[in-house]
Structure 1
Amino acid sequence: MHIQFFQHFNRLGAESKYEWVINRTRRLGRGLLITAVLAAAAKYLAQLPFLNIMGQLVLAILLGILFRAAAGLPEKAAEGIQFSAKKGLRAGIILLGFRLNLHDIVQAGPKVLALAVMNIVFTLVTVYLLCRVMKIDRRLGILTACGTAICGAAAVAAVSPQIKATDNETAVIAATVAVLGTIFTLIYITAYPFLGLGESGYGIFAGATLHEVAHVIAASVPVGQQASDLAVIVKLTRVALLAPVALGLGLWENRRQRTKNENAQSKKGEHSKEEINCQPNKLPVPWFIGGFLLMSGVNTLGILPDELTAGLLVLAYLLLAMAMAGLGLGIDLKTFGRLGGKPFVAGLAGSLLLSLLGYFLIQHMGLM
């Protein structure tokens, strides 16, 4: 397809090429401008009281949905919006790796890593099974489980390409998990005096069970600096586990699709067993997850100045917010209502069970 595109482009005259570039730049520019404005508005709103609990990414999704409901989706901007939602998203995930310092995760100790792994595995399995019991579409179930278990909207967006989820499915579940995280953040802040946890224990609890990084920060900062620092370290430990989860899901999806194809071919009698077995088994290559890990390694080694790293993180969140706005622009409220109801219930139950498990493990692992 790419070869055909370049062959067609090369056949154009100089003037036609110029016009094509100008027209494509305009189409991309309109969409990028809309998503950038929504992302900037989300960042501003995220600095306001109460809205800071939701965070820039959550607000960007909601603003995108509201913009479409109020003004519709500009057809001439569709290409740029899609570019933000797909290409910009992957670039943002790669740059988000600069948040991770692997030394901090190692220094947090094996108990914190074990806590993060147990919480993620438990939540992935529990939420996915709940979704299957409730007859929720398989892709929606996987996205809900990953968003609840790992890191909210960012996890949903990162896993989505691995399971070939649609933009509608991705946007709806990202928004659903984001709303759930906001609800639980408010519950945590209110319940802190009654939990019987010290400042460090509460920080670990928040980092191990809340959805978005923004939720973790919002829930822990009012308690104290120690709680906030530990909460972020534990949360980033969960974020680091996004890479193996995404890779594992990609391998699983690839194997599932291959088995499905083999069964279909076998029923049709189009190929012999030997021919089927000789077909190549393509492995998914989540290059953006590899980039995420690479940037984490660069940050851990301290190769770049702190000022540059901070600037790249600002760019990462801008790109992610633009991507979330693009996803929000891709759905309408009717679609959200149609797809989001059952996953919300499953995510709510899974979030509650995750909180209870996290609280139980912290008490029994001596992390209070």
Structure 2
Amino acid sequence: MAVAGVAALAAFLVHLAVPAVPLLTAAVALGMIVAQIPALRSLLDGPLKPGLSLSARRLLRIGIVLLGLKLSLVDIAGLGVVTIVAIVLVVVLTFGVTLLLGRMVGLPGRQPLLIAAGFSICGASAVGAMSAVTRAKDSESATPIALVTLCGTLAIVLLPLTRIPLGFDASEFGTWVGLSVHDVGQVVATAQIAGPVALSAAVVVKLTRVLTLAPMVAIVGAVERRRTPLSSDSAVSAVGEGTSKRPPIVPLFVLGFLAAVIVRSVVPLPDGVLEVADVLQTALLATALFALGTGIRFAELARTGWKALIVGLGSWVFIAALSVVAVWVTTGLSAR
């Protein structure tokens, strides 16, 4: 865990040196780079593995709980009914289309579900949340995390270039970014290029997308609970925690996330408390995502990951195009 924490600090220094690189993206990328060094693999797969596994699971869940303190129901209500409905539709349609595409190309295990969650909701954090509720193996999470990191990084470069051809003003561009880019850090890095108006719109829309994580996880948890017998070996081996319990309908960290949203909405928390929570949440997620990144092996992805790459790129193009339509429709309806 200490190694993962130091790596998160190194990712923060990279972010300070190159602000265009989001901290969480840098953390995942650093983990992926370290995992490719042959001399370090014996450490990653040996004495460091228990601490990295704990970081990837427990710290990720705590970070997701604290992420709820960024959300205010008042800010969400300020988007208006039309925009909120558009956000929900984009999430649900992207999730469904990605899941279907993943199964059509024959992705193994829970990879279609994890890729669908990552691309439709909130990137690597959603992959981690869905992994927890489905008891997915670490190896099943590696490819989806690599894909959302790749496509989210591409979005930082490509989306600003298309703003003028699409005719978006700053607010519309921010809405599009919030609807289509994966991780919160990637949203900030992409939207800030168009100024504070775009950044504000993007963050509110993105965090509203994050709120859909709770019901989506709850629905998937209910389905998995019905599909997984109490005596199933997969319920024991997938997580490696030595438990034969079926996946919970609503994991405790999701309830904590919802509780944090409610607290943020009804309790006037001091700015200092929110700032500390934000720093802690970012540090925990960076530590967890580095740990998740260390499980990615490029050689294995090259042998088996081309189908997943097709699904990931297809999902990214779909959500970007669907979000453009959503912006046009919501703008037209709001103007009436």
Structure 2 counterparts to residues 1-368 of structure 1, below 5 A: 32-49=1-18, 52-70=19-37, 71-74=40-43, 75-258=46-229, 283-365=248-330, 366=332
Q: Verify the 8 A CA contact 1:173 1:340 in the aligned structure 2.
A: no
Percent identity (aligned): 32
What amino acid does structure 2 have at the position aligned with 1:205? W
What amino acid does structure 1 have at the position aligned with 2:281? A
Q: Distance in 2 between matches of 1:359 and 1:140?
A: 27
Aligned-residue Cα RMSD (Å) equals 2.1
Secondary structure (helix, strand or coil) at the match of 1:118 reads helix
TM-score normalised over the length of structure 2:
0.88
Following superposition, the deviation at residue 73 of structure 1 comes to 4.1
Q: Distance in 2 between matches of 1:171 and 1:61?
A: 10
TM-score normalised over the length of structure 1:
0.81
Q: Structure 2 regions of 5+ residues with no counterpart?
A: 233-244
> Rg bigger for which structure?
1
Following superposition, the deviation at residue 144 of structure 1 comes to 0.6
Q: Verify the 8 A CA contact 1:208 1:358 in the aligned structure 2.
A: yes
Q: Distance in 2 between matches of 1:173 and 1:305?
A: 37
Q: Distance in 1 between matches of 2:22 and 2:53?
A: 22
- Residues 307 and 352 of structure 1: CA distance in aligned 2, closer, same or farther (over 3 Å): same
What amino acid does structure 2 have at the position aligned with 1:328? G
Q: Structure 1 regions of 5+ residues with no counterpart?
A: 1-31, 262-279
Q: Distance in 2 between matches of 1:118 and 1:40?
A: 37
Matched residue pairs, number? 317
What amino acid does structure 1 have at the position aligned with 2:68? G
Q: Distance in 1 between matches of 2:103 and 2:12?
A: 36
Q: Distance in 1 between matches of 2:220 and 2:304?
A: 22
- Residues 169 and 138 of structure 1: CA distance in aligned 2, closer, same or farther (over 3 Å): closer
Following superposition, the deviation at residue 134 of structure 1 comes to 0.7
- After TM superposition, which residue ranges in structure 1, 4 or more long, deviate above 6 angstroms? none
Task: Give CA deviations for 1:271-320 in whole Å, capped at 9, x if unaligned.
Answer: xxxxxxxxx99852310011111111112223432111111111111111
Following superposition, the deviation at residue 93 of structure 1 comes to 1.1
What amino acid does structure 2 have at the position aligned with 1:229? S
Following superposition, the deviation at residue 332 of structure 1 comes to 2.6
Following superposition, the deviation at residue 168 of structure 1 comes to 1.9
Task: Give CA deviations for 1:324-357 in whole Å, capped at 9, x if unaligned.
Answer: 1111223332233345332221111111111111
